[in-house]
Amino acid sequence: MSAGPPGSTDQYPKGVRPAGYTLVNSSDPEAIDGEVVEESLACISVNGKELATFMCSPTSLDLLAIGFLYNENLIETIDEVSHVHVSENNCVDVWLTHEVPEPERKIVTAGCGGGVTFDDLSREHPPLESTLTTEPAELAALMKKLHIGAALYQRSRGIHTAVLADKGEPLLQVEDVGRHNCIDKIAGAALKAGISTKNKILLSSGRISSEMLNKARRMGVPIVCSRTSPTSLSIALAKTWNITIVAYLRGNQMRIYTHPNRVLDSMRSTT
């Protein structure tokens, strides 16, 4: 049996749970004392009324709640949040300085699933106006930093991470079992830190779905990157909203699906 991962007296921090497994490779099977990321049910209540239920990582739940409210157009600034309390059973009570519309139904999202429903996303926002540009080497370096900075992923795998970056440097990084939840946590962290998300670069370890792109447009992000693929609807929305999608960003290779000039113009100017 392995001795387990080194660390502080709290061997399994919040967000990680022990999980033994049998390692099978070219040698004899070996029993390993390993660990996996934790997935929990969490709920958000606003002004005393339950609004949404998530399957998520039980970390930074205050940021998840604040970012979710921002991305759902229920708040604009952190000043509208008067109090946030996270209970031991992973319920987040948020008190705002104003009332919010009563939802027709409680929102249920698994973070990696469908999440909030919407009719015609393309009408949600006008095209994004931005002069932000970057270059392939900068995006490759940022994706490398995303991987290095993913603390829970480095421990246990099985978790997504997202980074908000500016001028080649990560500003904020979060992790969650749900890739959508990561975007909400980024928005919440930015609001709390007083960091504008507009004209920044958003990087994700997960697939870019239409819901994720909707959150990115709400945040005013003109460049969205992923280590994996976009969906067909996210590409269509990115074309409409003037957002650059860079996918399969691995090493020095990438696929630019929409509005490539933001990435390629810097290359052309040096030739």
Burial of 249 (0-12, 13-18, 19+ CB in 10 A): buried
Question: Please, is 176 exposed, middle or buried when counting C-beta atoms within 10 Å of its C-beta (0-12, 13-18, 19+)?
Answer: buried
Show the tokens assigned to 233: 């609807």
Give the H or E element holding residue 108: strand 107-109
Q: Which neighbouring-strand residues pair with 203?
A: 163, 225
Task: Answer yes or no: 112 catalytic.
Answer: yes
Residue 108 sits at φ, ψ, to 5 deg, of -120, 125
Residue of 43, 56, 112, 225 marked active site: 112
Show the tokens assigned to 152. 């829970």
The CA distance from 58 to 91, in Å, is 10
Cite the active site residues. 112
